[in-house]
Structure 1
Amino acid sequence: MALKSPAFSSRIGFILAAAGSAVGVGNIWGFPTQAAQNGGGAFLLVYLLMVALLAYPMLVAELTIGRMRQRNPIEALRSIDDKPLWRRFGTFSGILGLIVLSLILSFYGIVSGWLLAHMLAPIAELFGWEKAARWLTDFNTERNLLMMAVFLIVTIHVVRSGVNDGIERWSRRLMPLLFVLLVGMAAYILTLPGATSGLKMYLSPDFSQVTNPNLLIRAMGQAFFSLSIGVCCMMTYGAYLSKDEHLPKTAGWVAVLDTSVAFLAGLLILPAMFVAQELGVVIYNDAGQLLSSDTLVFQVLPAMFDSMGAAGIWVSIAFFALMMIAAITSSISMLEAPVNTLVEETGQSRSQMSWVVGLSIGLVAAIIIYNFELLFGAVITFTTVYMQPLLGITFAVMLTWVLRQNKLLRELQQGAPDIERSLFWKIWPWYVKFVCPVLILLVIWQGQ
C-alpha cells in the first residue's frame, strides 16, 4: 500500500534543505573548474544567464509537479493526466529521471570520497601518520573504493533517519556552517600573492568567448546540475513542501542561495589557482589549457597548501571540510528521491530501502572505479550535460502542455492567491511551454 510523503516542518527548513540539494560539489568543484577552463568571467556571465533564463523557470516547474500530488516523482508525473498514454509516459519519465539521478550519485560518491580522503590526510599528518597520509592522497583503486563506501554509508545514515530528523536537521546545521567557511576561506585566499590575477580573470569577461558553443552547453549543464534540475530531486522536495508556500518565491530563494555559493566558490578557487601558480605550481599548459581539470582541487590546491608551511595543514582541513559539507547536503537529496519512491510504491521501510538503493549505487560506483578512464568522464557528460536538460524539458512540457492550465493556476494560487494578476503568471507558463524547450535544444545542437 502506498504511503503518504513526509513533509518539512518549516519554510526555512525546506529552503535550507533544497538549497543544500542544489549547493554541492557541483558548485565548489564543478563550477570553478568550468570557469577556469572556459574563459573565467565569460563562463560566469553565461552561467548567470542560464540560471535566470532556463534553470529557475524549470525549478519552479519541478517543485510544482512535486507539490501538486505530494507524492514521489513517478506518481506525480503519471497523475498529471488520466489518459493511459500520458500515465505510461509519466511513469517512464519518472523512472528514467531516477536512473539518471542514481548514475549522478555514483560518480558523485567517488568525487566525495576523494574529498573525504584529502580532508583526513592532513589530520593523519598532524598525528605523524605519514604513510597513511600518503595512501589517502595517492590515486589508487583501494583508496577510491573505501572512501566512496564510507561517504555513501554516511549518506544512507542521514536518509534512513527521515526528512525531519535526518535531512532537515542536518541541512539546518550544515548550510550556515558552509557559508561561514566559504566566506572566511575566500577572504583569506584573496590576501595572498597572485590572488588578484585570478580575481581579474574571474570578474572580467572576455565577451568574444560568450558565444562559444562549448561554453554555452557547459554553462547550461552546470546550471542544471547545480540546481538539481531534471533528475527528480526537486520534485521530491516539492512533495514535502506545504501548500501554503509561495512556489515562485521559494524557488527564487533556492536559486539565489545556490548561485551565491557558486559565485563565492569562484572567488575562492580561481584566486587560489593563481596563488598556487605564484608558488610554482603549474596550472595551464603551453597552449593555455587547464591541466587536470577533473582533479583540479585535488592537485593544485593541496600543492598550494603544502607551500604555506604550518598554516597550510589547517587551511587544507578547513577547505576539504567545506567541500565535504557541500557534498553531503547534495548526496542526501540524491538518495532521498529513489528511496522515498520505493517506500511509497512498495510500502517497505525507509531504513531497508535506504540500504537497498545506497548499496546498489555503491556497486555502480565500484564498476566506474574499476573502469575509471572509460566510464568516469563519460558518465558525467551523459548525465549532466545532456540528460538533465533533456529531462528538464520533458518535465516542463508535461506540466505546461499536458496539464490543463486552470489546474496549474489553482496549484500556484494555493500559496499565492493573487498570482493570476502577477507578471510571473503572465510570462512563466508560455515561457516554459515554448521558449525554454527551444533554447535548451538550440544550445545542445550548437554544442555538437
Structure 2
Amino acid sequence: MSGEPKREQWASRIGLVLAMAGNAVGLGNFLRFPAQAVKNGGGAFLIPYMVAFLVLGLPLMWIEWTMGRYGGQFGHHSTPGIFDSMGKRRFWKYFGIFGLWSNLIIAAFYLYIESWCMAYAGYSLMNGFKETSPEKYFDWLTGHTPNSILAISPVGMIFFAACIIINIAILSRGLARGIEIVSKIGMPVLILFATLLAIRGLMITPESDPHAVESALVGLNYVWEPKFDSLTNPSVWLAAAGQIFFTLSIGMGTMHCYSSYLRKDDDVTLNGATGAWTNEFCEVILGGSILIPIAVAYLGLAEVQQKVASGSGFGLGFNVFPTLFNHWGALAPAAGFLWFGLLFFAAITSSLAMGQPIMAFLQQEFRLSRAKSALAFAGMLLPMAIPVAIFNSQSFFDEFDFWGGTYCLVLMAVGEAVLFSWVFGVEKGWAEMMRGADLKVPRFFFWVMKYVTPTLLIVILLASTFKPSCGWDKYVQSLGTSSPEKFEWASDSMVGKLLHRDVELKPDATPEELTFDKNLKIARTADRLMMLASFAGFGALVWIAWKRRSAEERTITT
C-alpha cells in the first residue's frame, strides 16, 4: 500500500534474542516462581514444571515465533493482522485484539510495580531500611491505608510518572535504537546482579553469620530435591503448567510482534529455544537461588512457608527481604540496590515489550510516525494507569492483573494454538516453522503441537474458570466418599471473580469494613466497564483499519 512506513528490523541476532528473553524474564521469575515452588512442596514442583516446559512452554514459544514471522511477510506486526493472515474467517482478526488489549491492561499495573522497584532501589542505596520497616515504606509509597478505597501518594505518583515517561521515551526511539539497546544492557546487568546476590546468599551459614538460623543451602535443597509423590497431585501439575505459561509471556502478542520483524527465512526454532532457555536460567537457576535460600537462612523453612502461604512472593520480596539484608552490615545498601535493581531491569525489559504491539498496530494501520504512536500509546495508557495508582490495590490493580494479566492470556493462548494447529494446519505450520531453521526440532513436537498443547491449554482454561474453593484434587477425591465436598466457587476462579468471592467479610465486620466492601464493589464495576470499553475501542480501530485496507486495495485494483 502507498504511504506505508519503512519496515523496521532488528540490528542483530543477539539483540533479538535478548529482547525476546527480556520480554519473558520479568518480576515473576524472581518472585512468583519461588513462591509457587514453596506452595507446592519445593522439589515436588520441579518435575511437573519441567514436563510442562517441554509440552507447553517450548511448543507455544515456537508457535508464536512462527506465527509472527509469517504474518510479518504480509506487513502485519500485531496479532489482529497476524491472526487474519492465518485464519479463514473475519473472526480471527477480532480475536487478535487480545494481543493489543492485554498489553494495555497489563502495562497499566505492571508499570506501577516497576516504579516500586525504582523507589525501593534508591531507598535501599541510601540504607533507608535500616531505620524504616519495609511495610511502612510501602504504605507511604502507595498511599495505602486500611479500609480506604483511595490510596494516593504524591511521591509514588512521581515515581510512577517517571517510569511511564522512561518507557515512552525508549519506545519512541524504535526497535533497534530503543528496545534492542535497553535489552542488550538490561539483561546482562540483571544476570550480573542476580549472580552476585545468589553467590553471597548461598554463603550464609549459622557459623559465619550469627543472625542465621540455618544454612542457605537448606532452602536451596528444598527447592531442588525431587519429591516423586507430587506426580499424583493434579493441583501441582496445574500450578506448574500455569507458571510455565506465565513466565514465558505467552498469549500476550508480544512475541508475535517481535518475531514479525524477521525476514522470511530467518531462524525461529533456535532463536525461540534460546529465548526460552535464557528465561529458564533466570527463573530456575538464579530465581531459585536468591529469594528462598536467603529467606530460609534467616527465618527458617517453616516461617517462609507460612509467609508465602498467607501472602505471596511479592510480599516476601518487598516487605521482608530489605530487612534481611540488614544482616549483611556494610553490604546492606548495595545488596538492597542489587535486588531491586535486578527487579527493575526485569520489569522494564518486559514493559517495553507491552508497548511495542500497540505502537506497531498504530504505525502500520494508521500511518503514525514512531513518535506519534508512542504518544498515542501514552494517551491510551494514562486513563487506565491513573486509577491503578489512586485506588486501593484490591480494585483496579487486582482486577487488571486477573483479567488482563492472567485469565485472558490463557484464553488467547487457547485460540492461537487452535488457529495454528487446526485452522492454519499443523502440517503447514510445521513447514513454516522449519524453513530456515538452525535447530531441527524433533518430530515429537509436531504431535505435541497438534494434540497435547491445545488440550492442556483447554484444561487449564476450564480448571481456572470453574474451580471449586477446596481445589480440584480434594473435590474429585471426595466424590466417591459418603461426604463429598460441597461445590463452592474459588475466589481465584473466573466465576468466583465475577461473583466477588474474594471479597467476603466476616459476620462481625465493622462498619468501616462494610463501607469498604461496598466501595470496592463499585470500583470493580467501574474497572470492568473500563476494560470492556477499551476492548471495544480496539475493536473499532481494527474495524476502521480493515475498512481502509479494503478501500486502498480496491483503489489499487482499479
Q: TM-score, normalised by structure 2?
A: 0.72
Contact kept, 8 Å, 2:121 with 2:336, in 1: the verdict is: yes
Q: Deviations over 1:410-433 (max 9, x none)?
A: 53343139x9xx663x33344222
Shift of 1:407: 4.5
Shift of 1:235: 0.1
SS at match of 1:21: helix
- The question of 1:308 aligning with 2:328 is answered yes
Map of 1:238 onto structure 2: 259
C-alpha change, 1:121 and 1:331, in structure 2 (3 Å) is same
What are the within-5 Å matches in structure 2 for residues 243-392 of structure 1? Answer: 243-263=264-284, 264-277=286-299, 283-285=304-306, 289-369=309-389, 370-392=391-413
- The question of 1:76 aligning with 2:96 is answered no
From the CA coordinates, give the structure whose radius of gyration is larger.
2
Contact kept, 8 Å, 1:17 with 1:329, in 2: the verdict is: yes
Shift of 1:161: 0.5
Q: State how far apart, in whole Å, the 1-side matches of 2:47 and 2:139 are.
A: 34
User: Which structure 1 segments of 5+ residues have no match?
Assistant: none
Map of 1:170 onto structure 2: 182
**Which of 416, 440, 448 in structure 2 is aligned with 1:431?**
448
Q: State how far apart, in whole Å, the 2-side matches of 1:18 and 1:268 are.
A: 23
Contact kept, 8 Å, 1:74 with 1:95, in 2: the verdict is: yes
Instruction: Point out which structure has higher relative CO (alpha carbons under 8 A, 6+ apart).
Output: 1
Shift of 1:290: 4.4
C-alpha change, 1:58 and 1:284, in structure 2 (3 Å) is closer
**Which of 40, 60, 70 in structure 1 is aligned with 2:62?**
60
**Which of 452, 460, 465 in structure 2 is aligned with 1:443?**
460
Query: How many positions carry a matched residue from both structures?
Result: 438
Letter in 2 for 1:222: Q
C-alpha change, 1:5 and 1:49, in structure 2 (3 Å) is farther
Contact kept, 8 Å, 2:44 with 2:227, in 1: the verdict is: yes
Contact kept, 8 Å, 2:21 with 2:279, in 1: the verdict is: yes
Letter in 2 for 1:323: L
Contact kept, 8 Å, 2:194 with 2:338, in 1: the verdict is: no
C-alpha change, 1:147 and 1:206, in structure 2 (3 Å) is farther
Map of 2:146 onto structure 1: none
What are the within-5 Å matches in structure 2 for residues 95-174 of structure 1? Answer: 95-125=97-127, 138=140, 139-140=142-143, 141-142=152-153, 143-174=155-186
Q: State how far apart, in whole Å, the 2-side matches of 1:134 and 1:406 are.
A: 57
Map of 1:33 onto structure 2: 35
C-alpha change, 1:113 and 1:316, in structure 2 (3 Å) is same
Moved more, 186-195 or 352-361: 352-361
Map of 1:199 onto structure 2: 220
Shift of 1:135: 5.3
SS at match of 1:373: coil
C-alpha change, 1:213 and 1:409, in structure 2 (3 Å) is closer
Shift of 1:395: 1.1
Contact kept, 8 Å, 1:5 with 1:344, in 2: the verdict is: no
Contact kept, 8 Å, 1:40 with 1:202, in 2: the verdict is: yes
Contact kept, 8 Å, 1:190 with 1:271, in 2: the verdict is: yes
Q: State how far apart, in whole Å, the 2-side matches of 1:328 and 1:211 are.
A: 38
C-alpha change, 1:400 and 1:43, in structure 2 (3 Å) is same
Shift of 1:281: 11
Shift of 1:125: 4.1
Q: Deviations over 1:20-41 (max 9, x none)?
A: 1111112122222222233222
Moved more, 315-324 or 193-202: 193-202
Contact kept, 8 Å, 1:216 with 1:443, in 2: the verdict is: no
- The question of 1:224 aligning with 2:245 is answered yes
SS at match of 2:352: helix
Shift of 1:304: 0.3
Q: State how far apart, in whole Å, the 1-side matches of 2:229 and 2:426 are.
A: 41
**Which of 394, 408, 418 in structure 2 is aligned with 1:397?**
418
Contact kept, 8 Å, 2:270 with 2:437, in 1: the verdict is: no
Letter in 1 for 2:244: A
Q: State how far apart, in whole Å, the 1-side matches of 2:398 and 2:48 are.
A: 23
Shift of 1:257: 0.4
Shift of 1:137: 7.0
Root-mean-square deviation over aligned CA pairs:
2.9
Shift of 1:165: 0.4
Q: State how far apart, in whole Å, the 1-side matches of 2:242 and 2:406 are.
A: 4
Q: Percent identity?
A: 28
Q: State how far apart, in whole Å, the 1-side matches of 2:335 and 2:411 are.
A: 40
- The question of 1:183 aligning with 2:221 is answered no
Shift of 1:181: 1.6
Map of 2:508 onto structure 1: none
Moved more, 140-149 or 192-201: 140-149
Letter in 2 for 1:298: F
C-alpha change, 1:230 and 1:2, in structure 2 (3 Å) is farther
Shift of 1:79: 1.3
Shift of 1:359: 4.2
Shift of 1:208: 3.4
